[in-house]
Amino acid sequence: MAIKEYPRLCGGTFCTLILQALRQRIGAREHYKGDSDGLTDSEFLVGLIKVINPAYKNPGKAKLKTIANNYKACNQSNSVYFPFNDKQLISTFDEDVRKNYQVVLNRMIAFVDDFIDLTDTAHKDANLVRAVIDLIQQDESLPDDAEFYIGSNGEKIKKTAISSLKEVCLPSFLLGVWHYIVLNRKDNSVGKATYDIWCPSNGGGTREYIGDMGEKILPGLRVYHVSAQETVSSEIVEDYVEGEKTDEEAKDVPPSSSQQIVNNNPTFFNFNISGNNNNVFNHVDKLIIGNGGKRDE
């Protein structure tokens, strides 16, 4: 049986979905005065590239504008300004995700802080996660055993288990999917048909996203954000196992984190121990509740 071309996960389609979750752009009056909100396609792509290489130097909007748009539209995979073909750099990025997780997670946390709308009213973060999960689940070209380092501490989660997630750490989730794309989806053109369906041609005008990814799945999904940490966790040693415990079994297991209510917001104090050297780091996670799977206009 032939594998459907739509939908497909790749750098361009991933970027297209993230762009729907951007912070509010500034108005025409501010643009006219010369103000910049830092949320252009080229600045956004630079932010993602810096997750791979924090030393990346922005070549400037004039050089990146067209290239960034072509990457988003799945018309281009590589450029002299992209690091995706730098084998040493990509290898280092991969090793950091596997062995120096907090270091690279901090970079994605910075990206989320700079670009993603985290307001409780917009629910763009939850909508984004559901959309990406929907894309992964529907992409027939991804094997069922494809593994994404999207657990809150970098745990590997298989494609078949992603649809059963109850809560998601936004930076960890985005980092894991971006890591998979950078390592396994180097041909960005595989998402061209998906982009054309999501963002149909508009006679040369701006191509607006009209897709409905994620709108009908995981209505109770909880998405939360974390702050950057100085302490670095060691190599990830635990994987998520689908169906490991039933709901009844889970009731008899002590919680892995203590919960405290602060100003009516659930706050989680997580104390994570990984590796054999007993490195301990903790963080405070503000829980952000999704909006029941409905898309906000």
Q: What is the pLDDT of residues 14-43, one digit of tens each?
A: 999 999 999 987 654 444 444 467 899 999
Query: Counting Cβ atoms within 10 Å, is residue 228 exposed (0-12), middle (13-18) or buried (19+)?
Result: middle
pLDDT tens digits for range 85-108: 999 999 999 999 999 999 999 999
Query: Counting Cβ atoms within 10 Å, is residue 188 exposed (0-12), middle (13-18) or buried (19+)?
Result: buried
Query: Rounded to the nearest 10 degrees, how much is the dihedral formed by the CA atoms of 119, 131, 9, 192?
Result: -90
pLDDT tens digits for range 218-263: 999 999 999 999 744 444 445 555 555 444 444 444 443 333 333 3
pLDDT tens digits for range 103-119: 999 999 999 999 999 99
If one compares 288 and 14, the residue with the highest pLDDT of the two is: 14
Query: Rounded to the nearest 10 degrees, how much is the dihedral formed by the CA atoms of 197, 203, 187, 133?
Result: -30
Q: What is the pLDDT of residue 172?
A: 98
Q: DSSP alpha helices (H): ranges in 116-157?
A: 124-138
**DSSP-derived pairing of the beta strands 167-169 and 222-225:** parallel
Q: What is the pLDDT of residue 2?
A: 84
pLDDT tens digits for range 70-84: 999 999 999 999 999
Whole-number Å distance between alpha carbons of 219 and 90? 35
Q: What is the pLDDT of residue 182?
A: 98
If one compares 107 and 3, the residue with the highest pLDDT of the two is: 107
Q: What is the pLDDT of residue 27?
A: 55
Mean pLDDT of the chain: 81
If DSSP codes are grouped into helix, strand and coil, which group holds residue 172?
helix
Mean pLDDT is highest, among 3-12, 238-247, 264-273, for: 3-12
Whole-number Å distance between alpha carbons of 181 and 183? 5
Q: What is the pLDDT of residue 28?
A: 45
If DSSP codes are grouped into helix, strand and coil, which group holds residue 295?
coil
Q: Helices 170-184 and 124-138 sit at what angle, rounded to 10 degrees?
A: 40
Taking residues 53-78, report their average pLDDT.
95
Residues 6+ apart with CB under 8 A from 2: none
